[in-house]
Amino acid sequence: MILDAEIKAQLAQYLQLMENDIVLKVSAGDDQVSRDMLALVDELATMSSKIKVEKTRLERTPSFSVNRIGEDTGVTFAGVPLGHEFTSLVLALLQVSGRPPKVDQAVIDQIKNIKGTYHFESYVSLTCHNCPDVVQALNVMSVLNPNISHTMIDGAAFKDEVEQKGIMAVPTVFLNGEPFASGRMSLEEILAKLGSTPDASAFAEKEPFDVLVVGGGPAGATAAIYAARKGIRTGIVAERFGGQILDTLGIENFISVKYTEGPKLAASLEEHVKHYNVDIMNLQRAKRLEKKDLIEVELENGAVLKSKTVILATGARWRNLGVPGEAEFKNKGVAYCPHCDGPLFEGKHVAVIGGGNSGIEAAIDLAGIAKHVTVLEFAPELKADAVLQDRLYSLPNVTVIKNAQTKEITGTDKVNGITYIDRATGEEHHIELQGVFVQIGLVPNTEWLEGVVERNRFGEIIVDKRGATNVPGVFAAGDCTDSAYKQIIISMGSGATAALGAFDYLIRN
Ligand SMILES: Cc1cc2nc3c(=O)[nH]c(=O)nc-3n(C[C@H](O)[C@H](O)[C@H](O)COP(=O)(O)OP(=O)(O)OC[C@H]3O[C@@H](n4cnc5c(N)ncnc54)[C@H](O)[C@@H]3O)c2cc1C
């Protein structure tokens, strides 16, 4: 039995929601993955009379497609979609059977109107928490538009193909055989990348806002909700709604919720914001802020939004090392997300740069997958908590090098080594390895505010206890500010503070 009793019980409930018959067309061989896939497919068929199974030959073996009766839908799974992809499989079964996807009608219309033929292939790992969003988005597109098809490929089951295509990060998506995108993407982002995005004219008619929030992470979402609850005209512009939590796996300190996962929390945030009358402008990046009578925020697409107050909540992003080879080999061996990309380095030698909590957590995780992990720490000592260090040092396949200044990441078409300088002796060393995980902290997304809003030497926006900046009417919240600690709950608290501060300002001015 490939599914345990608990999962089977849940699955049985979902399968009852199927609307019409579907057929799984299965391409299997004699290998173990084929056997596991057949076991899964047979188990599904025994659980619902609406699921038929046919043997066939598909482009990849082992794989199976999920189809309406008499019509190929274009949704294919190559490998066994268990782990994080099990939900993708369940949703595909339901949606192909006729159950409508949970997507706005406007987006459904947008997908149905896409012209041209698009065949997507997404390479995933079953432990990647960013992958299901991409797989599910591409499956929804395939289900809704007959000219779109999508194959999810488990990299672990198709190692040669992954190697040959030089894929070293998941999810990696190919479109019609050409590289299309890498990393987590929402359905809206994929549609935008296909050229289906609102341009500046869609913003031209917007009335000035009372509160315009820039940033859609925990701080921005909270600020928008607090502002909207005051009944004032509220807008939110976000480059990527959800922010850093989209890249976070387990969250255990979001008080009152014992455990949740980042993408789930991001979806709840969005749902909560949508519950109010907030103008959400997702996938839009602000590039200029200017205080005139009103405050103007210019977007990358050229549109200029006006507002009486602005709350800056642009958060932070991974800090780059800034050494030769880092940008060149990004996604070709240089990675930032161990949970996502770790499985692609199975049996390989990797380095983790950074000996803080995130670096040591990454090294511990990677030691379970990779052949060997070398931790490079710039300082003479690791900064991670003692309990993490103890775990790290108990592992047999980890080396820690302190006082190490990374000089270069080397490679040809992908990473083949790292060069560092021993800061104690000045000697240069080279280690041959296949992957480098950079874990050296975060930088605030505030460069675009230089000379406009006062920032400290780390680039963090300086705020007072009401969240106000030095520019009247401009407030800030969350990781982009000089708050002492950067956490979800702290960002939310400061988002609330900034919104209340902005409301007070509106009353007084
Ligand atoms: C791997 C990882 C694990 C973590 N784990 C935890 C944890 O377990 N618990 C915890 O409490 N915290 C955790 N954190 C920290 C937590 O995620 C952050 O403190 C929190 O997300 C900060 O929220 P924010 O809204 O200030 O910024 P962000 O989450 O960074 O959001 C910023 C928003 O602004 C947008 N943006 C940026 N620039 C622009 C622009 N120019 N125009 C428009 N929009 C823009 C972004 O797209 C995004 O929507 C973790 C962080 C990471 C990276």
Helices (H), 51-130: 86-96, 105-112
**What is the C-alpha to C-alpha distance for residues 37 and 222, in angstroms, rounded to an integer?**
44
**What is the C-alpha to C-alpha distance for residues 350 and 328, in angstroms, rounded to an integer?**
17
Q: Which range, 11-25, 93-107, 325-339, has the best average confidence (pLDDT)?
A: 11-25
Exposure letters 264-274 (e unless 16+ CB within 10 A, then b): ebbbebbeebe
Helices (H), 177-261: 187-193, 201-204, 218-228
Catalytic one of 133, 210, 247, 337: 337
CA 69 to ligand 1 centroid distance, Å: 44
Place of tokens 């993490």: 388
Give 201: exposed, middle or buried? Use CB within 10 Å, 0-12, 13-18, 19+: exposed
Contact (Cβ atoms closer than 8 angstroms) between residue 350 and residue 370: yes
pLDDT band at 376 (very low <50, low <70, confident <90, very high): very high
Question: Which of 475, 470, 463 has the alpha carbon at shortest distance from 504?
Answer: 475
| Distance of alpha carbon 331 from the chain centroid | 14
Residues in the chain: 509
- pLDDT tens-digit map of 269-296: 999 999 999 999 988 999 999 999 999 9
| Residue 144 within any structural domain of the chain | yes
**What is the C-alpha to C-alpha distance for residues 22 and 66, in angstroms, rounded to an integer?**
7
Same domain? For 104 and 47 the reply is yes
| Residue 453 within any structural domain of the chain | yes
- Secondary structure of residue 18 in the 3-state scheme: coil
Ligand 1 atom having least distance to the Cα of 316: 30
Residue 68 is part of which domain span?
5-193
Catalytic one of 154, 340, 365, 479: 340
| Residue 326 within any structural domain of the chain | no
Ligand 1 atom having least distance to the Cα of 337: 1
Same domain? For 227 and 273 the reply is yes
Domain boundary among 438, 467, 497: 438
Domain boundary among 193, 220, 242: 193
pLDDT at 400 over 70: yes
CA 169 to ligand 1 centroid distance, Å: 21
CA 297 to ligand 1 centroid distance, Å: 21
Same domain? For 178 and 32 the reply is yes
Residue range 101-122: mean pLDDT, rounded:
91
Residue range 128-149: mean pLDDT, rounded:
94
**What is the C-alpha to C-alpha distance for residues 326 and 339, in angstroms, rounded to an integer?**
19
Position 130 scores a pLDDT of: 85
Q: Which amino acid belongs to residue 280?
A: I
- The ligand 1 site (C-beta within 6 Å) comprises 214-220, 237-241, 243-245, 247-248, 251, 253, 285-286, 313-316, 445, 448, 478-479, 486-489, 491
What's 419-464 look like in SS3?
EEEECCCCCEEEEECCEEEECCCEEECCHHHCCCCCECCCCCECCC
Residue 340 appears among annotated catalytic residues: yes
Position 485 scores a pLDDT of: 87
- pLDDT tens-digit map of 319-360: 999 999 999 998 889 998 887 778 889 999 999 999 998 899
Same domain? For 33 and 78 the reply is yes
| Residue 270 within any structural domain of the chain | yes
Provide the 8-state DSSP code for 292. S
| Residue 323 within any structural domain of the chain | no
| Residue 324 within any structural domain of the chain | no
Position 505 scores a pLDDT of: 98
Contact (Cβ atoms closer than 8 angstroms) between residue 494 and residue 481: yes
Position 1 scores a pLDDT of: 67
Place of tokens 């600690």: 485
CA 259 to ligand 1 centroid distance, Å: 18
| DSSP H or E run through 11 | helix 5-15
Same domain? For 241 and 93 the reply is no
Ligand 1 atom having least distance to the Cα of 287: 41
Nearest CA to ligand 1 atom 15: 487
Same domain? For 178 and 217 the reply is no
pLDDT at 316 over 70: yes
CA 267 to ligand 1 centroid distance, Å: 14
Same domain? For 427 and 451 the reply is no
Q: Which amino acid belongs to residue 120?
A: F
121 CB-side CA count, 13 A: 19
More confident call, 103 vs 470: 470
Tokens of 6: 């608990």
Residue 128 appears among annotated catalytic residues: no
Catalytic one of 133, 154, 247, 341: 341
Residue range 121-126: mean pLDDT, rounded:
95
Nearest CA to ligand 1 atom 19: 487
Residue range 445-450: mean pLDDT, rounded:
97
Same domain? For 48 and 166 the reply is yes
Position 251 scores a pLDDT of: 83
- pLDDT tens-digit map of 47-87: 999 999 999 999 999 999 999 999 999 999 999 999 889 99
User: How many other β-carbons are positioned within 10 Å of the β-carbon of residue 62?
Assistant: 25
CA 167 to ligand 1 centroid distance, Å: 27
Ligand 1 atom having least distance to the Cα of 481: 26
Domain boundary among 162, 193, 224: 193
CA 111 to ligand 1 centroid distance, Å: 29
Same domain? For 422 and 499 the reply is no
Nearest CA to ligand 1 atom 27: 315
Ligand 1 atom having least distance to the Cα of 358: 1
Position 197 scores a pLDDT of: 62
Residue range 472-497: mean pLDDT, rounded:
96
Question: Which of 271, 147, 232, 242 has the alpha carbon at shortest distance from 503?
Answer: 232
Residue 364, domain CATH: 3.50.50.60
Same domain? For 68 and 208 the reply is no
- pLDDT tens-digit map of 477-488: 999 999 988 899
What lies within 8 Å, CB to CB, of 186 at 6+ separation is: 133, 137, 240, 241
pTM score? 0.74
What lies within 8 Å, CB to CB, of 9 at 6+ separation is: none
- pLDDT tens-digit map of 198-245: 566 677 778 999 999 999 999 999 999 999 999 999 999 999 999 999
Residue 48, domain CATH: 3.40.30.80
Provide the 8-state DSSP code for 36. H
**What is the C-alpha to C-alpha distance for residues 396 and 411, in angstroms, rounded to an integer?**
27
Same domain? For 230 and 348 the reply is no
Question: Which of 506, 444, 494 has the alpha carbon at shortest distance from 466?
Answer: 494
Residue range 138-160: mean pLDDT, rounded:
96
| Residue 469 within any structural domain of the chain | yes
Ligand 1 atom having least distance to the Cα of 241: 49
CA 246 to ligand 1 centroid distance, Å: 8
Place of tokens 């976000």: 238
Residue 337 appears among annotated catalytic residues: yes
> Which residue of 212, 260, 278, 488 sits with most ligand 1 atoms within 8 Å of its CB, as the best mutation to test the pocket?
488
| Residue 328 within any structural domain of the chain | no
The total of structural domains in the chain comes to: 3
Q: Which amino acid belongs to residue 364?
A: I
Same domain? For 450 and 420 the reply is no
Nearest CA to ligand 1 atom 26: 478
